[in-house]
Copies of this chain bind each other. A is one copy, B any other.
């Protein structure tokens, strides 16, 4: 097809992962990259593993108009707050935007400002932004000019919850999402909390009940169920580089055995290329999805009344860059799996 793709914010982990995926994507003709850091450097000096694969100079943000004019699609891998005005610039030139920040995920500007504590940079665009979780909201994505790529935790939580909520199987006031994430989810900027000696051989919870992905999970859980859902969300930091395992708990409205619950999941996700329901006796592991756009789900109904769903994703792929490319495929009428096939790295 010969698409031209721009990546803004290329020097973070999500930006780099977009390069990794897009440089093998058969319909991408060329990639150009920009960033606020490392401006003017060659991409393969910042990321030597890309040497011989992608040979680009990193443009500064002042070249944004050129990038937008050139590109067919622009991916924004920027911090929240920074993203929105950049999106406006690109959309103005009639090019499509896939935003990997939080700026367009919540439809309500007040909710956004309450949780993110910054004024929204382009509130007028919110009404046109489409939430890019294809397995749950596929229809609206194809026509979108602006896709808000979901957060990593919400992706893992919503794919786990959707069948329960859509079928009205659970009490909407008792939903708990207990997530365990690798450290790459915190980005590439060094901090004490992500300093190797502090993370290694350590397990910790953080932002218990107050993490910014909470309203995103709750809001789309509500959309799926057709009513308000109370989600309590606890993220944990685990000493792995990649991977999110979410363990989701909800009270079932009526007793159900494991096999019946599993059947509901298998039917719900039948035909989905990127969602696998584990067979009886298996529980998903993040290693099963390493480097892939997959979500692996395991289910049990506990003592018949406690639905427990475990979901495993790679936070940088299905939780970010891979899902963004999946959205791009939909937006450009390509087969959804283009550039996203093949097994992951094991072990």
Residues of A within 8 A of B (CB): 13, 16, 19-20, 23-24, 45, 47-54, 174, 176, 178, 180, 182-184, 188, 190-192, 194-206, 208-209, 230, 232, 234, 236, 238-245, 247, 249, 251, 273, 276, 278-279, 282-292, 296, 298, 300, 302-303, 306, 308, 310, 312, 341-347
Do residues B203 and A195 form an inter-chain contact, with CB atoms below 8 A? no
**Chain B residues within 8 Å of A50, by CB:** 343
Q: How far is the CB of A239 from chain B (nearest CB, A)?
A: 6
Do residues B197 and A16 form an inter-chain contact, with CB atoms below 8 A? no
* A48 in contact with B282 given A178-B247, A342-B53, A343-B23 (CB within 8 Å): yes
Copies of this chain assembled into the complex: 4
Specify the chain B residue showing the minimal Cβ separation from A198.
B347
Do residues A236 and B247 form an inter-chain contact, with CB atoms below 8 A? yes
Q: How far is the CA of A125 from the CA of B143 in the complex (A)?
A: 63
Q: How far is the CB of A333 from chain B (nearest CB, A)?
A: 24
Do residues A201 and B346 form an inter-chain contact, with CB atoms below 8 A? no
Task: Name the 3 nearest CB pairs between A and B, nearest first.
Answer: A190-B190, A197-B347, A204-B285
Q: How far is the CB of A179 from chain B (nearest CB, A)?
A: 10
Give 30 pairs: A residue, B residue, CB < 8 Å, sorted on A: A19-B343, A24-B341, A45-B279, A48-B285, A49-B343, A49-B346, A174-B174, A176-B306, A178-B249, A183-B197, A188-B192, A188-B195, A190-B192, A194-B197, A196-B199, A200-B200, A200-B241, A201-B287, A202-B285, A202-B286, A203-B240, A203-B243, A204-B285, A204-B286, A205-B283, A205-B310, A208-B300, A209-B303, A234-B308, A242-B347
**Chain B residues within 8 Å of A342, by CB:** 20, 23-24, 53
**Chain B residues within 8 Å of A203, by CB:** 180, 182, 238, 240, 243-245, 285-286, 312
Specify the chain B residue showing the minimal Cβ separation from A273.
B52
Do residues B205 and A232 form an inter-chain contact, with CB atoms below 8 A? no
Q: How far is the CA of A207 from the CA of B310 in the complex (A)?
A: 12
**Chain B residues within 8 Å of A286, by CB:** 201-204
**Chain B residues within 8 Å of A345, by CB:** 20, 290-291, 345
**Chain B residues within 8 Å of A192, by CB:** 188, 190
**Chain B residues within 8 Å of A244, by CB:** 203
Q: How far is the CA of A342 from the CA of B206 in the complex (A)?
A: 27
